[in-house]
Structure 1
């Protein structure tokens, strides 16, 4: 009954052993086969390492872009608040100066006590708004400093990734990382210059 499955009476065990020996002689004991196998494994490992570095670089650039966007938005907000406070302060100071000049030239009779009190109240309100804007500016400056430190840390991490990619033999990502570092440093310098300009404006405001 079992003969129908092997009508030619083939010894499959001997055939498998013969094919196994032939495979060992033709493949495993062949130095070219081992060289090709090692080369393939090395290329596969290099591809995995390169992909990992590329993913890390993309993630670092996304985080850096988000931090830079936050810094830019915070800087724009602080500038807008400071400019509004300066305009209100200058407007009310001008009104107060006109009232004082009118009083000095004998025009005090046209200005009632309620108007003077109103001007004083507006002046106090503007002074309070100026103090609030100053506090918000200080908070924005502190937040800007912290995010600048984070950007510096991200620059160090990007430089480390650049060195790793250079060691792995990937010159193109290395040049991209260096270009990204240069743009990042340039943007940080620009933000610092804007911060210095804002400080000078605030000093002039205090002097006024």
Structure 2
């Protein structure tokens, strides 16, 4: 597909078929994504690809830890405070759309809990890509920008091959569990996870699209006539 179609048709996929994704196809997605720009060509990223028993164990232990009373988030990166203002509005807006599509009412505690658990399970995707970077690049404002670039590259490359993705921070709320299961070296910081697989078109939430602000709301031009 042409680039315009690629970027405007891509969507976050939260429901997947059970079909496995060939390792060769995943490798091709990463091969394309690695052409993302990085500061001073540092290419600071590492990608750990999980499937099968390794992913199942991460999924199981992460969900068990995060559903305990007084569950504690243990992410490698420093997380932001709760969203507020326009950011909170956008967060709530997409949640409302997803819940409406799934038929989850405001007072449906069981349905809402099930949705949270889906996130902890990385939406039951057959593949998870754990993105890490070299710890000696912290504090990480610049490297986080670079990691976002390859993350978007993965999402676009996957979409171009018929695969779906969703960036899934819930899946690594317990970075210590991920590190323990797959042996992430201590000199790598776990940034986020990307769930990947073949989109299940029967999963209604996959058809929910988020809005984008018009350019005039966030773009400022300087020095033009």
Fold conserved between structures, TM > 0.5: no
Higher strand share: 2
Which protein has greater RCO, CA pairs closer than 8 Å, 6+ apart? 2
The interval holding the TM-score normalised by the smaller chain is under 0.3
Which is higher, the Rg of structure 1 or of structure 2? Answer: 1
TM-score (norm 2): 0.19
TM-score (norm 1): 0.20
